[in-house]
Structure 1
Amino acid sequence: MEAENHTGLSQFLLLGLSEDPEIQPIFLGLFLSMYLIAVLGNLLIILAVGSDAHLHTPMYFFLCNLSFVDICFISTTIPKMLVNIQAQKKYLSYIACLAQVYIFNTFIGVDNFLLTIMAYDRYVAICHPLNYTVIMNPRLCVLLVLMSWIIMFWVSLIHVLLMKRLAFSTGTEIPHFFCELAQLLKVASSNTLVNNIFLYMATALLGILPLTGILFSYSQIVSSLMKMSSSPGKYKAFSTCGSHLCVVSLFYGTGFGVYLSSAVTHSHQGSMVASVMYTVVTPMLNPFIYSLRNKDVKGALGRLLSRVTSGPSWMDDLRTKRKLRSLKQMF
């Protein structure tokens, strides 16, 4: 095939999960259901935390941000894949592909940072409870989240700028259901040495270092729990970390699964299955993990749902109060 630069290349061909036309309707229904569950579940977490004053704490502030990022994260890839399955078209323009790479890497990086920040929050809460409100003040919480976004904006931008230097063959096929950076580098026609070096450096700095921070935080947490004499205190402290540990295990387990399956088996199908786990399954399960294992979140969800179901009566009470207020002003 003839190699072209980005100015001559119009679109990529996404091979998708399967080319069997009989399986396509199954994939359409399955991924649409998973996408809707993920979006609705994370949206409920945000609404529940926002509507309950008892949950306006650093831990739930970070949880809201994690749910928001998960919604954006899964919306980067799945809607386009569903449209492609429905329309029987698997082409994606060059610009759209680069945009997907940029947005996807930004969200997955912020997700990674948020999990690290949440681990640090639990470390401060358990190991330094008396100074928790002083250390985890609102300014620091906002600054940590903001810095996560800024770092990933720039890292993703460098990835895209390096991608624009590469040449691709006409009609390039990507053995995936979305434009993943590692897969794009494999199908490029020009030298990708610089891209791979930066990819490995970014993965090491933004992947291994945060994971090391999480492991250090939990090593200190376990050490503090072992020194506690009260069994109820140990259980309560560990229960606040259980949900986060499940999410961390799911996120890093599926993430490493993608690269291990790609490096060991060299199977595109295995890599795609692992990618489905961390792009779809993880954002879908996170709300269930936090709601089922957390009494405060379950209570907030229950109050939110009861408030929604009693919406008409609540509105009537509000109108009555407004009428009484207006009457008082008149007299």
Structure 2
Amino acid sequence: MHYRTLGRTGLKVSPLTLGTMNFGELTDEPTSFRIMDEALDAGINHFDTADVYGGPQSPDMDKGYGISEEIIGKWLAATGKRDRIVLATKVYQPMETGPNDRGLSAYHIRRACEASLKRLGTDHIDLYQMHHIDRNTPWEEVWQAMEQLVREGKITYVGSSNFAAWNVVSAQCAAKARNFLGLASEQSLYNLTQRTIELEMIPALREYGIGLIPWSPIGQGMLAGALGKHNEGRRGSDAFEQKLDKLRPQVEAYETLCADIGAAPAQVALAWLLHNPVVTATIVGPRTVEHLKQNLGAADLTLSEATLKRLDEIWPGPGGEAPMAYAW
């Protein structure tokens, strides 16, 4: 496994990040343990979770949020391997029904961090990520809260997720004014079928030295051999089937290309992301150990220039970076 630095930081992480959103909801605890064992043995040292993962992600429904963190905490306690992983979690989503039990206020950040530390059974979080932009909280307040957690040794780096490019710029300008490192990473929706962030987000991250960690890299299964599985009688949700019907010509061309180069579709989708120098790592969210093993080969898969060109033809992006993509 060839490790990469997380953006402009000196922290080294594996090119594949173990996403644990399925832990506790679609994947039971014993299987989650085996997935983490297998991931670490394979060289994956970056584990990603969130305080809301493991259930319906809503405090208005039955309890379930926080279970993913709890499962990771139990695994860490059982294995003693805390110092072998870069542990990342997130803050923003509502964790209770009170008016201050959500968002990025200093009040909620402090309480959410303490709760995550307790569930994870650790004294520090390596990468603490804002799960979404909070337009009601000023950056001065957000960075004050994050700086306090860094001083206390409870977090080491700060990341973002689902931000717009101008949110990243605003965050970094505010952080620089405080002589604070600011963002180390951004998690964005990015895959061959969803390339909008090429317009502004990727240029912004490159300019500020912020590592990109794409989520949904295989397009909710669309890039993982969906047509072949469909032909075998395995069907997805109605919405997925409708999308597959709409994209059928592209999916057919894509799966044919993957077969021609002798690589699994999911591996090609992951490897395509890793060819982008702004991408530090891409999240894989396996439900089973077998799913994880199928994705591991992506870290060592090199795509030729001809293959990359053909992928652009099958899945065209927005036309480059803004404003040149739509103006002179």
TM-score normalised by L of structure 1: 0.24
Q: Which has the larger radius of gyration?
A: 1
Between Structure 1 and Structure 2, which shows a larger proportion of helix residues?
1
Between Structure 1 and Structure 2, which shows a larger proportion of strand residues?
2
